[in-house]
Amino acid sequence: MPSAPAGTLYRGREGMWSWVAHRVTGVLIFFFLLVHVLDTALVRVSPEAYNAVIGTYQTPVMGLGEAGLVAAIVFHAFNGIRIILVDFWAKGPRYQRTMLWIVMGLLVVTMAGFLPRHLMNVFGGGH
Amino acid sequence: MATSTRTSSSLAAPRSRSVGRGTTRGNYELYSWVFMRASGVVLVVLVFAHLFVNLMVGDGVKAIDFAFVGGKWASPFWQIWDLLMLWLAMIHGTNGVRTIINDYAERDGTRLVLKLALYTAFVVVTVLGTLVIFTFDPCPADAPANLLASFCTA
């Protein structure tokens, strides 16, 4: 392995870690997508089969998993827009670090809107 | 570095496109790069609306059952929405994982096996999902009425 060149723009800093997080969230979302198409396909088997499997999505453990999945999707979405701006906006590379903190801020705001609602649906005693 | 036996008269000019590089065909990687960005923008809209309608409106995930899906796919709007989301997400995700396999799987055999598994999963899941959206019957005749959308018995 060659040693790392000194003074790179990205290595070990926000740029690299956002790239790592983009890959990790992307793979996570992709594997959920495969499972999600398969579970939805059960509507072609019978209403009972679909309801039995979708019922497992409504348990507390899966509810927390869904919260994590939504957080991964929201990060991947906003960071993807940041990547597009880095690529196509003339000032994008200069503001890539600032834009990452905007992405993280938007992630927090979006999750603040989503989490209370979702957790009340999952843990609330309305059913 | 690959060794070349070509004579100097056949050497390509510096940075000319993909001469003598058998693994590069045309502009495939450029189109792939553009597709990731274009599909990504569309997917943000498709997926955010999908999450909002299914997880935020009403009782969220607790309200999802066969009748809920039947109610959505009775409308061509949601059929097309979900079809577009399925295809764009599957191509976007498959292409992303393909990039990751190319980056981390160093042996040719490993890359081949992983990509075969990836492309098999792509075809199976995309075809299955497409068939489900368009062959779905929201009101199957032999199913209990209390499990179906209200319009089935109306």
Angle at CA of residue B20, ends B102 and B91, nearest 5°: 35
Check if B66 contacts A (Cβ < 8 Å).
Answer: yes
Check if B61 contacts A (Cβ < 8 Å).
Answer: yes
Q: Which chain A residue shows the shortest CA-CA distance from B122?
A: A34
In a domain, A9, yes or no: no
Check if B147 contacts A (Cβ < 8 Å).
Answer: yes
In a domain, A3, yes or no: no
Q: Which domains does chain B have, with CATH numbers?
A: 29-152 (1.20.1300.10)
Alpha-carbon gap, residue A124 to A127, rounded angstroms: 8
Contact between chains at B48 and A23 (C-beta distance less than 8 A): no
Whether this prediction's pTM lies above 0.95 is answered by no
ipTM > 0.95 for the complex:
no
**How near does any CA of chain A get to the CA of B37, in Å?**
6
The separation between CA A90 and the C-alpha centre of its own chain, rounded to angstroms, equals: 27
In a domain, A99, yes or no: yes
Q: Which domain holds residue A76?
A: 14-123
Residue of B40, B47, B69 lying closest to A43 (CB–CB) = B69
DSSP string, B1-15: -------GGGPPPTT
Domains held by chain A: number: 1
**How near does any CA of chain A get to the CA of B26, in Å?**
22
* pLDDT tens readout for residues B74-131: 999 999 999 999 999 999 999 999 999 999 999 999 999 999 999 999 999 999 999 9
* pLDDT tens readout for residues A16-30: 999 999 999 999 999
Tell me the pLDDT band of A13, cut-offs 50, 70 and 90: confident
pLDDT of residue B58: 87
Contact between chains at B147 and A40 (C-beta distance less than 8 A): no
Contact between chains at A118 and B148 (C-beta distance less than 8 A): no
* pLDDT tens readout for residues B30-68: 999 999 999 999 999 999 999 999 999 989 999 999 999
The Cα-based distances of B99 to B20, B29, B91, B131 in angstroms read 22, 10, 12, 28
Could you tell me if residue A12 is left (phi over 0), alpha (psi between -120 and 50 degrees) or otherwise beta?
left
* CATH number of the domain enclosing A85: 1.20.1300
Alpha-carbon gap, residue B61 to A63, rounded angstroms: 8
Contact between chains at A40 and B86 (C-beta distance less than 8 A): no
